[in-house]
C-alpha cells in the first residue's frame, strides 16, 4: 500500500493476474509487449532461429512488419489517498480500433 501500482514485464506475454492488493496497490506480473506481433521479442524471427540452429552470433534486426500489438494497463488512482481504485488490462492489435 505504499505505492499506487507495481507492473512487471519480461516474458512479453500479458499475464492474467491484474488485481488490487489489500493495501491499495494495483499489480500485474507482466504488462505484455508493444511491437510486431509475429516477432520474437521484437526481432525478426528468422534471425533468432538461425542463431539457435547454428549457435553463431547474429545481428539483431527489429521486426517492422504488421500486425502490431499494444498491451499494458490503465490504473485509476484516488488523488486524495494515492490508492489504486482499479486496474484494467489493454491488449490491442492493429486489426482493432483504438
What is the full per-residue pLDDT of the chain (98 aa) written as tens digits? Answer: 899 999 998 777 899 999 999 999 999 999 998 889 899 888 999 999 999 999 999 999 999 999 999 999 999 999 999 999 999 999 998 866 55
Angstrom distance (rounded) from CA 92 to CA 32: 11
Cell numbers for 22, please give them: 489489500
SS3 label, residue 17: coil
| 26-51 CB burial, b ≥16 within 10 A, e <16 | bbbebbbbebbeebbeebbeebbeeb
Angstrom distance (rounded) from CA 86 to CA 26: 7
DSSP assignment letter at 40: B
The pTM assigned to this predicted structure is 0.79
Amino acid 96: pLDDT: 60
Amino acid at each position: 500500500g505504499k505505492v499506487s501500482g507495481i507492473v512487471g514485464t519480461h516474458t512479453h506475454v500479458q499475464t492474467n493476474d491484474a488485481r488490487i492488493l489489500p493495501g491499495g496497490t494495483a499489480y500485474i506480473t507482466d504488462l505484455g509487449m508493444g511491437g510486431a506481433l509475429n516477432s520474437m521479442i521484437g526481432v525478426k524471427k528468422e534471425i533468432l532461429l538461425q542463431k539457435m540452429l547454428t549457435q553463431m552470433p547474429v545481428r539483431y534486426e527489429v521486426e517492422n512488419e504488421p500486425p502490431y500489438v499494444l498491451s499494458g494497463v490503465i490504473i485509476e488512482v484516488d488523488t486524495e489517498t494515492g490508492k489504486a481504485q482499479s486496474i484494467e488490462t489493454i491488449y490491442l492489435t492493429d486489426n482493432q480500433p483504438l
